[in-house]
Amino acid sequence: MEHAVIENHVAELGLGAGTTREMLESLHWWRRETVGLDRSSPVHPNASSWKHGEEADQQHQIFAGTVTALLLSLCKNINTLSFESEVSEGPLRDYILASNYGLTPRPALERLRHVAYSARRPEDERFYEAVDILDILRCIHRLPQIDILSMDGVTEGERAADEPFPPKTSRSLKRIHLGNMDIHPDLVHTIMRIPVGLEELSLSFGGMWCNIRGQDKS
C-alpha cells in the first residue's frame, strides 16, 4: 500500500514520461533488491544492492536522486541545499530544473534561499572539482527566494566556455560567493551578469593543489 502511494506521488510530479519511468523503475529496483532484508544486520548476504561495481553504483545514484527529489517535493520549508557532488543528469536535476522554471503541477522549492556547493573529492580533497557552474545556476536562478549561491574548490567543466547564459535572468539572486576556485575570468563575468541586482560578490582564486586534469596549481 505504501509503495503504491509513493508511485502515485512520483506520477504526479509532472516530470515527463522518461524521468517518471526512470524514477519508478528505480523504486522497483530498490524494492526487489531489499526484499527479505534482515533488519538486524546492516548487510543482508543475499541483497545484491549492496554489491559494488559500475552498474550497481549507477543504480544507487539514480535511486538516491529519486529519493532526494521526493523529499524536496514533500518538504516545503527547505531554505538551504548543500551539495558535495555535482547534480548531474537524472531525476534530482530534472526535478530542480522543472521547479526552477515553474513546470511542476505544484509549486516547489519556493522557500529555497541558499545553495551551497563544497567540492570534496574522496580520493584527495586537495584537488579541484570540475563542475558545470552554469548548469547549477540554470537549475536555481529563477526560484522566487533564491538569494545566495556559494561554491568552494571548483574548476569549470569542459562545456563552460561554449555555453551562453542570458544576462539579467535572476531577479532574486543577490549574493555569490566563489572560494578557492580555478575558473576563467570570462566565466566569472558571465556569472556576475546573471542576477538583475547583484549586491555582494566574493571571489578567491587558488588554494588547492591541482585540478582533475593534473595541472599543478600550487
Global pTM value: 0.84
Q: Residue 24, CB half-sphere, CA atoms under 13 Å: how many?
A: 16
Quick one: which of 101, 34, 96 has its CA closest to 71? 96
DSSP-assigned letter for residue 167: S
Q: Would you write out the chain's pLDDT as a tens digit for each of its 218 residues? A: 577 899 999 999 999 999 999 999 999 998 888 875 544 434 444 444 445 567 778 888 999 999 999 999 999 999 999 988 778 789 999 999 999 999 999 889 999 999 999 876 656 667 788 888 999 999 999 999 999 999 998 888 776 556 689 999 999 999 999 998 888 899 999 999 999 999 999 999 887 665 544 444 44
End-to-end, the C-alpha distance of the chain in Å comes to 57
Rounded CA-CA distance 73/99 in Å is: 9
Which position has the grid cell 505544484? 106
Rounded CA-CA distance 180/57 in Å is: 29
Burial category of 147 from C-beta neighbours within 10 Å (exposed 0-12, middle 13-18, buried 19 and up): middle
